[in-house]
Structure 1
Amino acid sequence: MDAPLMLLVDGSSYLYRAYHAMPDLRSPDGFPTGAIHGMVAMMKWLRERYPAEHAACVFDASGPTFRDDWYPAYKANRAPMPDDLRAQIEPIHEVVRLLGWPVLVVPGIEADDAIGTLARTASASGHRVMISTGDKDLAQLVTPQVSLINTMAKPPELLDEAGVQAKFGVPPDRIVDYLTLIGDTVDNVPGVDKVGPKTAVKWIGEHGSLDGVVAAADTIKGVAGENLRKALDWLPTGRKLITVVTDCDLDGHVPGWPALEGLALGPVQREALLAFYDRLGFRTWKRELESDLGVDPQAAPAAEAPKVELAREYETITSMDRLQAWVDRLMAADLVAVDTETDSLDPMAAHIVGISFAVEPGRAAYVPTGHTGPDAPEQLPLADVLAALKPWLENANRPKVGQNLKYDLHVFANHGIALGGVAHDTMLESYVLEAHLGHSLEKLAERHLGRKGLSYEDLCGKGAHQIPFAQVDVATATTYSGEDSEMALQVHQTLWPRLQAEGRLATVYERIEMPAMQVLQRIERHGVLVDADVLAAQSRDLAERMVALEQQAYQIAGQPFNLGSPKQIGEILFGKLGLPVKKKTASGAPSTDEEVLQELAADYPLPARILEHRSLAKLKGTYTDKLPLMVNPATGRVHTNYAQAVAVTGRLASNDPNLQNIPIRTAEGRRVREAFVAPAGHRIVSADYSQIELRIMAHISSDPGLLRAFAEGIDVHRATASEVFNVPLDAVSSEQRRYAKVINFGLIYGMGAFGLASNLGIEQKAAKDYIERYFERFAGVKRYMAETKAKAAEQGYVETFFGRRVWLPEIKGGNGPRRAAAERQAINAPMQGTAADLIKLAMVAVQEALDREGRATRMIMQVHDELVLEVPEAELDWAREAVPRLMAGVAELQVPLVAEVGVGANWDEAH
């Protein structure tokens, strides 16, 4: 008779892996569920495959453990847990229990040590033990009675003693020696510098163990031997940190300990589990349970992705006859999905490897033109393919749909094709409907079609071993690209009716997002001219300033240290200088993050020097050094990418390079804008909406005081100061106006008394009094804030002036602090989102005027509430008059929209 089985699950390892492996799944009310879904699937699979008598799912407790006492820097480089994952921990504990598993969380003890102790105790009592984990550290626990299984490997990976030897090159009883030599970067446990797995296995094989390696250290040659000798004092500590403790006292945490009956695998609590699945939207599992319980399930909600099984027919086109037949089909179709496969992700550099199109779900064609693999068939020349397709591609009356068509617009433009008839973009349809979810085609197909296609990694691999798409065999490329086209078409057929049914959302999509996408592509394509010599001079100046700051910091500290090392900064500030510790990292070490340094800088000189050094280093590394390297050699310009489907408020994101994050609060940051220049015979024109979010606040709150100030053209901050401080307008001091400005903008962002006090450097009571006086004078604002929070809590989102929905998942399901943050966002989002809509409409209006009038002026950047243009000197008068007029005319609010214009030889002069 087999020995009884005990299953031990490394819950902490798996919840991270599940979170990163699963798509961004959400419950019906927007609560994140990806990690929960992954954990449930794994726990169900384990229980079904490995029937056990005893089991435990073990999680790390929050707070420090005994290893932090041994080594304060233990796990110090771990990033904070993502908020969306932290929110799922309690529901994971809940559902694991409902599935019948005992849950174990022991304060002060890592999950690994609890697992090690349980494994040792269970095997000593005659159990076989299987540990489910993805953590290599636990391989040290493997014995003839203890094995590991990694359920997230495909297929699941089972490791016994022979398996550990085969995988790591050492037996289980030498895993600790092996890990001590190579170190553990995840837990911030250093090993021997430059010693990797191969060297560690070689040394252990030659000398038998870590002790043998240490004894032979003097005989080991080369850099590795020298590094080993340097690490000898450290290795005992490293070994201690890596060794899993197997004799922890679990009394009070495991009922009846050291007996294991308190860890008997229990029955599934079906009715409670049914309610859990229903709450989180796990409909397939819910239906399975309903069937088990004999419940007559209701029809699945329309929002659930239907499981569609299509007959797939993807044709590879390698002859002109077949291509022409497809061109005829494309010209006759009401709507066609199109997709390009390329040799680069850089839209300005990408060249076509193949093109696919679909006229109905399940049917598609792929035209390979640049595959170079050893078995690649003869392919049609790209020039011939484009010549045949050009009448359809450029035809504005032949509607096209695709996923992220801005990229394809660039790709075709690289080959001299101006793609016309761009009617729909599935990424933008999803973005308008559900901005808080993911918008990749893979996620859209899974969410709305119940389909999962091939991924790019399936075809090309990952990392250093990834091959170019051109080397993918043509048959597989046909399936991949054909899927992309016909799934995009099917996703559109699913999302477009939903948008149309929403009315105002369809308007946001058709009037704002789709036209803005095509304008953004033109802005990106034109690019912006930068002066590399100006940037080089700024880099030299910044380097000199940084050296001077380093010397000042060394003098204050009394010794040299690395200003880029949080660890060394902490040792100097809190160890040597004895500055007060403001907060600690997750590992218990004093934090040296920016917030802490800002607080300390108010009273101490060294944190101020460190902050200034950080600021200059970031400016130098991100802009003055990097921008010249990003100039496109073909155009001589920098071409950013504007991402539309990112911010839930509708704001654009700029990247490669990020032109929206250039600091403007410091003189050094503003100087970077001097390098953005106009070519000969041109000037830079900057057109910026004036106080746009305050104007939107006045409109949506209908507050009489704010409406009057803007209608009469009164300085709104002066008007606010007059009301709050109860003084005539002409008697408002500059200090009072400054206070009023902070109050105006602070309240837009939901700032409370504490935040206002911090910003103004005043007592919290005084800040509270100012806010109360503000709300007495501007009661409409107070009413708007209360009504907006209540409405957001009721419906889960707020709306902009144009009807864009800004979803706030945590306004219902978040804990206290996160719900409060969601309420602050609810207040600000209608203003920020409306401002985002307005600037997109402004871009579209200006571009339409440029095209209509045949102007040579070009838009070259969009930054926050500002449009930046490159204007021929002959068109300056037109730009000064027309651009602000066009921007002011895109919407009619209760207060006038105003755009201010500046002109200069460079962006800094114009702004």
Structure 2
Amino acid sequence: MSLAPLVLVDGSSYLYRAFHALPPLTTSKGLPTGAVKGVLNMLKSLRKQYPESPFAVVFDAKGGTFRDEMFAEYKANRPSMPDDMRVQIDFLHNCVKGLGYPLLCVEGVEADDVIGTLARSSAAADRPVVISTGDKDMAQLVDGHITLVNTMTGSVLDVAGVKEKFGVGPEHIIDYLALMGDKVDNIPGVPGVGEKTAAGLLVGINGGLKELYENLDKVPSLAIRGAKSLPAKLEEHKEMAFLSYQLATIKIDVPLDIELDALHCGEPDREALLALYTELEFKSWVNDLQREAKQEGTEIAPAEEAAPVIEAKYELILEQTQFDDWLKKLQAANLFAFVVQSNGTDAQRAQIVGLSFAIKTHEACYIPLTHSYMGVPQQLDRDAVLNAVKPMLEDASKIKVGQHAKFAINLLANCAIGGDQSQGINVQGVKFDTMLESYVLDSTATRHDRDSLVAKYLDHTPVNFQDIAGKGAKQLSFDQIALEQAGIYAAEEVDLTLRLHEVLQAKLDKIPTLAPVLNEIEMPLMPVLARIERQGALVDAKLLGIQSVELGNKMTELEREAFAIAGEEFNLGSPKQLGVILYEKLGMPIISKTATGQPSTAEAVLAELAEQEFPLPKVLMQYRSMSKLKSTYTDRLPEQINPRTGRIHTSYHQAVAVTGRLSSSDPNLQNIPIRTAEGRRIRQAFVAPQGYKLLAADYSQIELRIMAHLAKDEGLLHAFRNDLDVHRATAAEVFGVELPEVTNDMRRSAKAINFGLIYGMSAFGLAKQIGVDRKQSQAYVDRYFARYPGVLEYMERTRTQAAEQGFVETIFGRRLYLPDINAKNQALRKGAERMAINAPMQGTAADIIKRAMVAVNGWLDTSGLDARVILQVHDELVLEVREDLVEQISKDIRVHMSGAADLDVPLLVEVGVGSNWDEAH
């Protein structure tokens, strides 16, 4: 009989990964708990996989180790542990002990060394070992008895797996690390030797570090990039390479007063866990403890904050009588939650798989319609069910609750009952959406997806989609999932939606100023966005194809130019190769480094190098710009044309940008550059159909106008009220000249000042932008504030209010919380202050364009005019308008958009018309 493997958990690795990878959670008192919950979930999952195994969770002990004595700079690059992580460590250790898992911390050595010693001792006794970690250093321990498991990715590394992943076997991992170093632990390695070079050297000489240094004369003949220059580099850094070898070596002979046979999980200490879970507000786990105790007939003290255990009642609807009963309940209900399950994530292409409903919490049903797999039970007729629920879903008097309901609205609108594309369901009465409720409540508190909200507000871990569908390329679509699993998942999803709504609504009710943001802006906008998404935009694929070829030709020319400057060919898309060319071969100054300590080749760095008259960075920036346009737009847009509609359908996101701005994806229309001819040509591919024109209506200088309103500055108010060119007026004030004497250069500088101040730009940043020294730039800023004192007063007032209350507001009451506004770290605090000044302007601009979209949609609906909104980008709406209505629509849309807010200055709307988007803009 084979022995169950010894399971060794790298607890320190778990902690860091859980803290950085999972959504942050806090208790009602502000205690961070996300890392604790994440680690415990991973441990429980691992324990279920190895229920009979000896088990140990190993953490780094406090204080230094022998490696610090060996190399003073060891781990010097690591930032100090975040306070929010440090405060969770004792809670985590106590929870691990409370669960009965053996916990090990050995002073003077790292967790890796404890794990290495235990693993090799166990392997020597012919017991298999599983090490659960995300640390690549551990690969050196792998052998016929020892494997690595990564719980976050599900990957398992045996000997073959190590070789496939790293290019060398476990026996040479230490040599591999010694050559390439480890930026995280500040193991130096050999400069310029990366992963591929390190593996190539070891494989090429068929040995380790010792053999490599004995055969340096063979290195130039190896098929490795830069092989000829490697021997000198290796020789120069030989001492550091062998020191790195020692630092990277995991000790396997640590004196441990631990018997392997003692590493068995004990019984959980429910009293201790109850106290811990109660303090950490893990309510569902408190409930689980009490339920287990009750089932065993034992006593356990109730936790004051523990919610009562309520058993959920979920029903899978396969019979007509069941459906009829639920239909009656729904028809009688004043409010219900609904969710639509589909076989894809594109609402314009996906098909409905089933419907789920909940009228009260902890009770829900799932009605499968089109599940298809071998042996699937008989389901109710799809069209009959959709026809039956259609009147109820289209009844605006019935209040509905959803989570990301826009997706469901589009699916139902496209459902094509009876195969007729015009026969969809026009959902009405969606008054609440938990995603938007959470977003309005606090846009910065968490992500607003279902799982994040459930974890934060319900302290519940729902059925995970990947658990029932699998991962990656083999993941099943929802219609392939067995009804037994699908029914629980779908019913729980709609139940949790209703439960979330009750919690979030109660929190929103305590802040009355947020009600108009939700009820008058976000919720009315949601169906408008759904309609715009369904409408889509017409795109000329042929034109994009021509431009794609031209961009490819320009990229080839730029590539040749880059090779000529560099004196050799290299991969322009490889940051590593580019770094070698820029900094090692051409000797350019290193302006900044990446998080791993490598010289940066980021866009901002290239721009700064280009300003210093280095020719290659300028060519690279042009190449990158062309490459992005080609891959993101000219190549991709034709592929995104929906075959059913012949149009492109972007997706708009209401709950992403913390300031309230909309964003879009698939495709992202916000980022099409309009300052370059190539970018404008992409807009030329967005065309009007025959007999129509595109009309673009754009707010002019809206954030500056909002600034004037908020600051109540007489100078700015005067400029906007008298329809002056505000940048020219600012230039006259700042440069001390009369309006007619303002030059174009002065106006450009004044524009940079106007917009720079909105975004919190410093005098240093402004100097860089307008090409003057810092002293001159500061003089301009000082003169600006002297001429516009209201602006300075607004900024100082806003900083003070933000520090006192922790948030700022838009004109319409939208809040942006600023967690770092009182941070001790000056950089964090200054960043929060800049956000505090800008957010009311950017957020108000977002509110205004949203209100305008609702108003324009309502006007077009009631007027019956042949025009429709097809795009929204920044402060601009793009409409398709029948040619004979262009003049009327141009006049009326100005009225509706300028009326979206009542400011102390007029809202100016500029309208353009053309056969394509570029012409209209």
> What is the TM-score normalised by the length of structure 1?
0.79
| Cα offset, 1:502, TM superposition | 1.6
2:339·2:356 contact (CA, 8 Å) conserved in 1? yes
2:105·2:111 contact (CA, 8 Å) conserved in 1? no
- CA-to-partner distance for each residue in 1:591-615, whole Å, 9 max, x for gaps? 2111111011111111111111111
Match of 2:318 in 1: 318
| Cα offset, 1:867, TM superposition | 0.5
Letter in 2 for 1:175: P
Match of 2:171 in 1: 176
1:526 to 2:535 alignment = yes
Aligned to 2:196, the other structure's residue is in SS state coil
1:12·1:59 contact (CA, 8 Å) conserved in 2? no
- CA-to-partner distance for each residue in 1:835-876, whole Å, 9 max, x for gaps? 000000000000000001111101000000000100001211
1:491 to 2:500 alignment = yes
Letter in 2 for 1:395: D
For the structure 1 residues 609 and 245, does the alpha-carbon distance in structure 2 shift closer, same or farther, using more than 3 Å as the test? closer
Equivalent in 518, 543, 550 of residue 559 of structure 2: 550
Counterparts of 1:489 and 1:62, CA distance in 2: 54
2:282·2:459 contact (CA, 8 Å) conserved in 1? no
Counterparts of 1:148 and 1:627, CA distance in 2: 45
For the structure 1 residues 580 and 460, does the alpha-carbon distance in structure 2 shift closer, same or farther, using more than 3 Å as the test? same
Match of 2:754 in 1: 744
Match of 2:216 in 1: none
More displaced stretch, 873-882 vs 826-835: 873-882
Match of 1:427 in 2: 435
Aligned to 2:510, the other structure's residue is in SS state helix
For the structure 1 residues 702 and 377, does the alpha-carbon distance in structure 2 shift closer, same or farther, using more than 3 Å as the test? same
Taking the TM superposition and a 5 Å limit, the aligned residue runs for 1:328-407 are 328-407=328-407
For the structure 1 residues 910 and 319, does the alpha-carbon distance in structure 2 shift closer, same or farther, using more than 3 Å as the test? same
Counterparts of 1:631 and 1:54, CA distance in 2: 52
Letter in 2 for 1:420: Q
Taking the TM superposition and a 5 Å limit, the aligned residue runs for 1:658-697 are 658-697=668-707
Counterparts of 1:756 and 1:135, CA distance in 2: 44
For the structure 1 residues 410 and 282, does the alpha-carbon distance in structure 2 shift closer, same or farther, using more than 3 Å as the test? same
| Cα offset, 1:136, TM superposition | 5.2
Match of 2:269 in 1: none
| Cα offset, 1:181, TM superposition | 9.9
Aligned to 2:627, the other structure's residue is in SS state helix
Counterparts of 1:596 and 1:52, CA distance in 2: 43
Match of 1:753 in 2: 763
Counterparts of 1:298 and 1:458, CA distance in 2: 31
For the structure 1 residues 472 and 902, does the alpha-carbon distance in structure 2 shift closer, same or farther, using more than 3 Å as the test? same
Aligned to 1:559, the other structure's residue is in SS state coil
Counterparts of 1:451 and 1:473, CA distance in 2: 24
Equivalent in 440, 462, 474 of residue 471 of structure 2: 462
Taking the TM superposition and a 5 Å limit, the aligned residue runs for 1:576-587 are 576-587=585-596
Counterparts of 1:562 and 1:151, CA distance in 2: 32
Equivalent in 898, 903, 907 of residue 913 of structure 2: 903
1:179·1:242 contact (CA, 8 Å) conserved in 2? no
Match of 2:196 in 1: 190
Aligned to 2:812, the other structure's residue is in SS state coil
2:728·2:747 contact (CA, 8 Å) conserved in 1? yes
**Runs of at least 5 residues in structure 2 that lack an aligned partner in the other structure:** 1-6, 47-53, 95-102, 184-193, 213-220, 258-271, 287-300, 416-423
Equivalent in 799, 823, 830 of residue 840 of structure 2: 830
Aligned to 2:871, the other structure's residue is in SS state strand
Match of 1:890 in 2: 900
Taking the TM superposition and a 5 Å limit, the aligned residue runs for 1:474-513 are 474-513=483-522
- CA-to-partner distance for each residue in 1:223-253, whole Å, 9 max, x for gaps? xxxx99879989999x999999785599xxx
- CA-to-partner distance for each residue in 1:234-278, whole Å, 9 max, x for gaps? 9999x999999785599xxxxxx99999xxxxxxxxxxxx9xx99
Equivalent in 818, 842, 851 of residue 841 of structure 1: 851
Match of 1:629 in 2: 639
| Cα offset, 1:154, TM superposition | 12
| Cα offset, 1:786, TM superposition | 1.3
| Cα offset, 1:555, TM superposition | 2.1
Match of 1:417 in 2: 425
1:307·1:451 contact (CA, 8 Å) conserved in 2? no
Aligned to 1:377, the other structure's residue is in SS state coil
| Cα offset, 1:658, TM superposition | 0.4
- CA-to-partner distance for each residue in 1:456-509, whole Å, 9 max, x for gaps? 112101112211211211122111111111111111122123223322211100
Aligned to 1:539, the other structure's residue is in SS state helix
1:56 to 2:61 alignment = yes
| Cα offset, 1:321, TM superposition | 2.6
Equivalent in 786, 789, 802 of residue 799 of structure 2: 789
Counterparts of 2:58 and 2:470, CA distance in 1: 41
1:316·1:365 contact (CA, 8 Å) conserved in 2? yes
| Cα offset, 1:53, TM superposition | 12
Taking the TM superposition and a 5 Å limit, the aligned residue runs for 1:291-302 are none
For the structure 1 residues 191 and 475, does the alpha-carbon distance in structure 2 shift closer, same or farther, using more than 3 Å as the test? farther
Counterparts of 2:358 and 2:332, CA distance in 1: 12
For the structure 1 residues 824 and 711, does the alpha-carbon distance in structure 2 shift closer, same or farther, using more than 3 Å as the test? same
More displaced stretch, 435-444 vs 53-62: 53-62
Counterparts of 2:654 and 2:478, CA distance in 1: 26
Equivalent in 611, 628, 645 of residue 618 of structure 1: 628
Taking the TM superposition and a 5 Å limit, the aligned residue runs for 1:800-879 are 800-813=810-823, 815-879=825-889
Counterparts of 2:150 and 2:379, CA distance in 1: 42
Counterparts of 2:356 and 2:280, CA distance in 1: 35
For the structure 1 residues 119 and 102, does the alpha-carbon distance in structure 2 shift closer, same or farther, using more than 3 Å as the test? closer
Aligned to 2:865, the other structure's residue is in SS state coil
* Superposition RMSD in Å: 4.9
1:472 to 2:477 alignment = no
Match of 1:219 in 2: none
For the structure 1 residues 640 and 904, does the alpha-carbon distance in structure 2 shift closer, same or farther, using more than 3 Å as the test? same
Counterparts of 2:241 and 2:388, CA distance in 1: 64
Taking the TM superposition and a 5 Å limit, the aligned residue runs for 1:119-198 are 133-135=133-135, 137-141=137-141, 175-177=170-172, 189-190=195-196
| Cα offset, 1:730, TM superposition | 2.5
For the structure 1 residues 764 and 442, does the alpha-carbon distance in structure 2 shift closer, same or farther, using more than 3 Å as the test? same
Letter in 1 for 2:782: E
> What is the TM-score normalised by the length of structure 2?
0.78
Aligned to 2:61, the other structure's residue is in SS state strand
Equivalent in 446, 458, 462 of residue 455 of structure 2: 446
Counterparts of 1:177 and 1:112, CA distance in 2: 21
Q: How many residues align?
A: 817
| Cα offset, 1:793, TM superposition | 1.9
Letter in 2 for 1:793: A
1:644·1:653 contact (CA, 8 Å) conserved in 2? yes
Match of 2:569 in 1: 560
| Cα offset, 1:149, TM superposition | 9.0
2:734·2:783 contact (CA, 8 Å) conserved in 1? yes
Counterparts of 2:383 and 2:412, CA distance in 1: 12
Aligned to 2:736, the other structure's residue is in SS state coil
2:139·2:162 contact (CA, 8 Å) conserved in 1? no
- CA-to-partner distance for each residue in 1:18-50, whole Å, 9 max, x for gaps? 13553332466989763466469989999xx98
- CA-to-partner distance for each residue in 1:259-317, whole Å, 9 max, x for gaps? 999xxxxxxxxxxxx9xx99x994569x99xxxxxxx99976xxxxx745322111222
2:650·2:664 contact (CA, 8 Å) conserved in 1? yes
Letter in 1 for 2:795: M
2:555·2:627 contact (CA, 8 Å) conserved in 1? yes
For the structure 1 residues 231 and 281, does the alpha-carbon distance in structure 2 shift closer, same or farther, using more than 3 Å as the test? farther
| Cα offset, 1:711, TM superposition | 1.4
| Cα offset, 1:449, TM superposition | 2.1
Percent identical residues: 45
For the structure 1 residues 297 and 510, does the alpha-carbon distance in structure 2 shift closer, same or farther, using more than 3 Å as the test? same
For the structure 1 residues 490 and 44, does the alpha-carbon distance in structure 2 shift closer, same or farther, using more than 3 Å as the test? closer
| Cα offset, 1:345, TM superposition | 0.7
